[in-house]
Structure 1
Amino acid sequence: MKKIEAIVFDFDGTLAELTIDFDEMKKRLKALGRAFLDPLPEKTDIPALEWVDYIASCLADEDPDLGKEFHTRCRFLIITMEVEAARNGKLFPFTCDILSSLRNSGIKTGIITRNTASAVRELVPEINDISGCFLSREDVQNVKPHPEHLFKALEVIGVEPANTLMVGDHPMDIETGKRAGSMTAGVATGRMSVEELQKAEPDFVASNCAELIQLLEKEGLIMNK
């Protein structure tokens, strides 16, 4: 395994407490969707953002303006819930210390999230200062698990995927790293347990980011200064 030169983190559930109620979000989106298209197509196996895009495309086939209206109203609903959740959230106690320690040891860092930038900045106004790169969903055309999200962050901080560790609390984060060709790690501080994360076959699994950093130091993949 190559020496780690950069660590890119997911945000919600990885560096900050996961406070977004995704089940409630999907419930509200479906209620809105039925006002536009009833019955709704059976498509429950995809995340909320992709579901909105799918339903909007179905509507746009018949009426492009209706598809745009649905998409806009759904995005407004999602952003409202994200910002509200951020107001009740907080960083994990170890987050700032980890990011600072990595910077001092010469490890570059990045943060990528499917969340909206306004919600993240509601919680952490200094988000651009605590990491070498911050990219929300508004900053890329294709959000994770599409590798573009990670590729763009690595372009900003100047590190190759093979020398990067992608860290997140969901199998989607592990998939992102694998598709980009980076090393991967899962942390059980979100919705998934260690056992559930292990099924995605990351290179490392830990209960939280602090434990993960200790593991990497023990393995000699990063240095503690």
Structure 2
Amino acid sequence: MTSRSENLQALITRPRYVLFDFDGPICRFFAGHAADRVAVELVDWLDERGMQHLLTDDERRATDPWDVLRAADRRHHGKDVVVELEERLTQEELLAASSASPTAHADLLVRRLVERGVRLAVTTNNSPDAARRYLVDHGLEACFGPHVYGRTHDLSLLKPHPDCLLRALAALDAEPADALMVGDSPSDLVAAQRAGVAFLGYVRNDRKEQQLRDAGAEHLVSSLEDVLRALDG
């Protein structure tokens, strides 16, 4: 019978390309710049512009800024106020980049993959500018080069839509069968499935683990140290 460690080793040593979600697998992005406070500020900003009708009462209590952004876009897709709201979130993310906390073992895993000749990309719903700022600050920009694919003004293309993965695969000239995505949410899993890419879930707590198991994820790790061991095994 194949062991869990053997499965993980096969999963991580096979791909020629690895696509990382950003917030979670690479860092805790809002570690020093609370996401729930950003969500409140986005709601307040809409209120100040008389746009209360864009959010339900439940959406107004959201603790995730992307929930606020998605809700506004569903009812006002492509309108100037939604574009401005997205730009406001980008500014908050640029601030968050300076206080983000690296995920344990992520930096070493990224460098070890590059040493093995694996090509990397970031595929995220975050602002690509904010992700790049973090990578530069932590000396990882050379590991990814230009391959940071994040949120665009077309919010309908956020994961679980596979758009950012498809852009990464095209730019890397990669076949989906040769790639692996490392993500931490059901939307990452669905995006990987739609792009035809294998998936490894990083789960830092029981809630994340249950969400991914419920979504059908087969391969999960609670520490990237397990991935390093499998890579070196």
User: Aligned partners of 2:223, 2:168: CA distance in 1, in Å?
Assistant: 22
> What is the letter of the counterpart of residue 69 of structure 2?
L
Structure 1 segment 52-63 matched on structure 2, within 5 A: 52-57=72-77
Correspondence for 2:3? none
Q: Is 1:194 matched with 2:209? A: yes
Correspondence for 2:98? 87
Correspondence for 2:120? 109
Q: Is 1:49 matched with 2:69? A: yes
- Aligned structure 1 segments of 4 or more residues deviating by more than 6 angstroms: none
Q: Shift of the alpha carbon at 1:213?
A: 4.1
Which of 189, 206, 210 is the aligned partner of 2:225? Answer: 210
Local SS of the residue matching 2:130: helix
CA contact (8 A) 1:94 1:210 kept: yes
Structure 1 segment 119-158 matched on structure 2, within 5 A: 119-125=130-136, 127-131=140-144, 133-138=147-152, 142-158=157-173
User: Aligned partners of 1:101, 1:131: CA distance in 2, in Å?
Assistant: 13
**5+ residue gaps, structure 2:** 1-9
Q: Shift of the alpha carbon at 1:109?
A: 1.8
Q: Shift of the alpha carbon at 1:190?
A: 7.6
Correspondence for 1:167? 182
- Sort the Cα spacing of 1:37 and 1:17 in 2 relative to 1 into closer, same or farther, 3 A: closer
Query: What is the aligned-residue identity percentage?
Result: 22
**Root mean square deviation of aligned Cα:** 3.0
CA contact (8 A) 2:69 2:82 kept: no
Correspondence for 1:221? none
> What is the letter of the counterpart of residue 223 of structure 2?
N
User: Aligned partners of 1:102, 1:28: CA distance in 2, in Å?
Assistant: 39
CA contact (8 A) 1:13 1:191 kept: no
- Sort the Cα spacing of 1:37 and 1:191 in 2 relative to 1 into closer, same or farther, 3 A: farther
User: For each residue in 1:61-102, what CA deviation from the matched residue of structure 2 results, as whole angstroms up to 9, or x when unmatched?
Assistant: xxxxxx41x224312321222122111113234222212211
Q: Shift of the alpha carbon at 1:159?
A: 2.0
User: Aligned partners of 2:54, 2:172: CA distance in 1, in Å?
Assistant: 43
Structure with greater helix share of residues: 2
CA contact (8 A) 1:147 1:179 kept: yes
For these two proteins, the number of residue pairs brought into alignment is 209
- Sort the Cα spacing of 1:38 and 1:10 in 2 relative to 1 into closer, same or farther, 3 A: closer
- Sort the Cα spacing of 1:199 and 1:159 in 2 relative to 1 into closer, same or farther, 3 A: same
Q: Shift of the alpha carbon at 1:21?
A: 3.5
User: Aligned partners of 1:168, 1:201: CA distance in 2, in Å?
Assistant: 13
Local SS of the residue matching 1:11: coil
Q: Shift of the alpha carbon at 1:12?
A: 1.2
Which of 76, 94, 106 is the aligned partner of 2:87? Answer: 76
Local SS of the residue matching 2:101: coil
> What is the letter of the counterpart of residue 96 of structure 1?
D
Q: TM-score, length-normalised on structure 2?
A: 0.75
Local SS of the residue matching 1:111: strand
> What is the letter of the counterpart of residue 31 of structure 1?
D
CA contact (8 A) 1:17 1:190 kept: no
**5+ residue gaps, structure 1:** 61-66, 218-223
